Amino acid sequence: MTTVDIPAGWPATEEAARAVQDELRVRVVTDQVGPPPGTGCVTGVDVAYDDERDVVAAAAVVLDAASLEVVAEATAVGRISFPYVPGLLAFREIPTVLAALDALSRPPGLVVCDGYGLAHPRRFGLASHLGVLTGLPTIGVAKNPFTFAYDDPDAPRGSASPLLAGDEEVGRALRTRAGVKPVFVSVGHRVTLDDACAHTLALTPRFRLPETTRRADSLCRRALQEATACH
């Protein structure tokens, strides 16, 4: 487990954080195909918090994209680096997520975030932020649609409908299990929306949520328990 400090110069106010979003958002690439689904490695990242103890734990879990077997994993723990502000959650998570990614024993390949990329009020959620900072291809797969509108997709697995901000498609509601509530997929960086959905389907052979998210969620919770056990 890696222990990280809040980086020097990290934004401390909403105004400063939004300025960083504005500066970095123009670097997002949305027209690269990215790695083919089901090939190479794919990595899930997730975080868990203990606000009372001011602790955040991040996990990065690398899966073989074909077999979905775990081939590497790493965790990092640090102080919570930003207050809770909707739309600015990435600033609470990124320092520890970057540390977990850096601690991996092999390249992560595509990174899947439990959250948003372009499907974000400022079009720059965690997946986009992380992608721009690392240069890695990233996607966001969220459990809810944030503030965006969508029509319920058809019942069969693989059905999808646009996630809309007015007339703009910012992502898709994607049915990963027949008759089960969809997940909400958006581009982070260096992946198209079609491929983001294809990756999500490849990562959900049995459950609603991607295996990357399920494994990273379990690992970051365990890391948080270990980190706070001695407090």
Which residue positions form the known binding site for Mg(2+)?
A: 46, 114
Residues that constitute the known binding site: 46, 114
Query: How many whole angstroms separate alpha carbon 143 and alpha carbon 132?
Result: 23
CA distances from 89 to 43, 80, 85 (A): 20, 11, 6
Give the position of tokens 């983001």.
196
Would you say 115 and 213 are in contact if contact means Cβ atoms under 8 Å apart? no
Which of 60, 58, 63, 59 has its CA nearest to residue 42? 63
Which of 94, 81, 106 has its CA nearest to residue 131? 94
Alpha helices in 54-210 (DSSP H): 90-102, 126-134, 193-202
Would you say 7 and 95 are in contact if contact means Cβ atoms under 8 Å apart? yes
Give me 118's structure tokens: 């372009």
**CA atoms within 13 Å, Cβ hemisphere of 89:** 19
Which of 231, 230, 221 has its CA nearest to residue 75? 221
Using CA atoms in the order 158, 174, 97, 109, what is the torsion angle rounded to 10 degrees?
30
